Amino acid sequence: MPKTPESLQPDQEVNNKNEEIITPERVDLSEKGTPIIEKKDRILTGMRPTGSLHLGHYVGALENWIKLQGNYDCHFLIADYQAFGDYADNISKIRDSVIEVAMDWLSVGLDPHKTTFVIQSYVPEHAELAMLLSMIIPKWMIDRNPTLKAESATQKDVSLGFYNYPASQAADILLPKANLVPVGEDQLPHIELTREIARKFNRMYGHIFPIPTALVGRVPRLVGIDGKAKMSKSLGNCVYLSDSPEVIAKKVKKMFTDPTRLKATDPGHLEGNVVFTYLDAFHPDAAELESLKKKYTEGKIGDGEVKNILAELLNAFLEPIRERRAFYQAHPEAVREALLEGTEKAKKVAAATMLEVREAMEITGYEDIKNIKKIIEK
Ligand code: TRP
């Protein structure tokens, strides 16, 4: 596989800094005193391939993934089985999106030489373990899951498969025996359920699974350009990682600011101001940002000027992402290899865990003639 040029590698700033990102109060969902994970512990996280990734994905999750890769055994899952729950009538959309998500991941600097990219449906053990786990998940545990509630409210005919989403996600995490799951805030209920199921499985059949810990990104929820609580394709309010400089400029121009401000000399308000929400998320210089905020609230700078600053910052942030994207566009075989080699590696891990699970659950022994005799002679 061609290596990405050194100049296109993301900054290597981790090493001793992990302690900073994994602070116990952000990691620990319920149990007190969960230990900080060990080097080379395993990470599993993933995304549903349902479209291009946006800035919210970056600050909510991908940024952490980039920091963690190389220091841990990272498995990044493209959860196409799970996407069927939304798009069973449009499989080709999912198929395209698997590639698009891989491109977005490679473009932000996830490195397939250091990590494992996995196509979920190419490792059918994900489905096998999901099925087995679904037998020990009480239905009420699914009914109270807030993420599922919110998502099923928007669907007309909720399928059984969609209902099984939390079992599938628990299986995704437990199959590679992950210790840490860096995700967006909306995924926390699934991780909590995964922990409960892992504990229950271990109690019932023997200790197989580590109890995984969640890690949420620096900006848990980035609003859309219209100020709505969530970026979503259907609302048309996303800023994509693949947007061109021209599109970025246009979208920033459309961003909501302070509706009470009529001219540049009016004192501006920061609260609920989308442009400043984005500046908070992406401005690299805290002191400069503070002085910009001061000018704005004192009516010393116009909305247009602040927007220009933001557009420039976003374009500077996206530039290396665009360069890496261009590299992979010129090397489609590298995209293919990232997906297939990772998936091959994951298959081995999955097979080993399923062997343990089958033995623990005693779903074995049918080839043993002694056992057959013992039963029929009874
Ligand atoms: N549910 C996640 C999403 O919608 C994707 C996902 C599937 C996932 N399996 C996972 C995330 C396991 C973390 C761990 O993006």
Chain mean pLDDT for the chain: 90
Compute the distance between CA of residue 171 and CA of residue 121 in angstroms, rounded to an integer: 13
Q: Give strand pairing partners of 216.
A: 183
Mean pLDDT within 340-368: 96
Query: Which protein residue has the closest C-alpha to ligand 1 atom 4?
Result: 48
Do 166 and 145 touch, CB atoms closer than 8 A?
A: yes
Give 6-223+331-361's CATH code, choosing from 3.40.50.150, 3.40.50.620, 3.50.50.60, 2.30.30.360.
3.40.50.620
Please give the pLDDT value at position 12.
Answer: 46
- Residue 227 clears pLDDT 80, i.e. is over it: yes
The tokens of 9 are what? Answer: 């590698």
* Residue 370, helix vs strand vs coil: helix
> Does pTM top 0.75 for this prediction?
yes
Q: Which of 183, 194, 213 for mutating ligand 1's site (highest number of atoms within 8 Å of CB)?
A: 183
Domain-wise residue ranges, the chain: 6-223+331-361, 243-324
* pLDDT per position as a tens digit, 289-333: 999 999 999 999 999 999 999 999 999 999 999 999 999 999 999
Please give the pLDDT value at position 145.
Answer: 86
Q: Which of 42, 48, 94 for mutating ligand 1's site (highest number of atoms within 8 Å of CB)?
A: 48
Please give the pLDDT value at position 68.
Answer: 93
Residue closest to 346 by CA, chosen among 112, 119, 81? 119
Q: 48 C-alpha to center of ligand 1: Å?
A: 6
* pLDDT per position as a tens digit, 149-198: 887 887 778 888 888 999 999 999 999 999 999 998 889 999 999 999 99
Kindly list the distances between the CA atom of residue 75 and the CA atoms of 36, 119, 186, in Å, as whole numbers in the listed order: 19, 10, 20
Q: What is the pLDDT confidence band of residue 146, given thresholds at 50, 70 and 90?
A: confident
Mean pLDDT within 236-254: 97
Q: 79 C-alpha to center of ligand 1: Å?
A: 7
Mean pLDDT within 50-65: 94
Q: Which residues line ligand 1 (CB under 6 A)?
A: 44-48, 77, 79, 82, 169, 172-173, 181, 183, 187
- Residue 30 clears pLDDT 60, i.e. is over it: no
Query: Which protein residue has the closest C-alpha to ligand 1 atom 9?
Result: 169
- For domain 243-324, give the fold: Tyrosyl-Transfer RNA Synthetase (1.10.240)
Q: What is the pLDDT confidence band of residue 75, given thresholds at 50, 70 and 90?
A: very high
Do 356 and 204 touch, CB atoms closer than 8 A?
A: no
Q: Which residues contact 210 (CB under 8 A, 6 or more apart)?
A: 177, 178, 179, 198
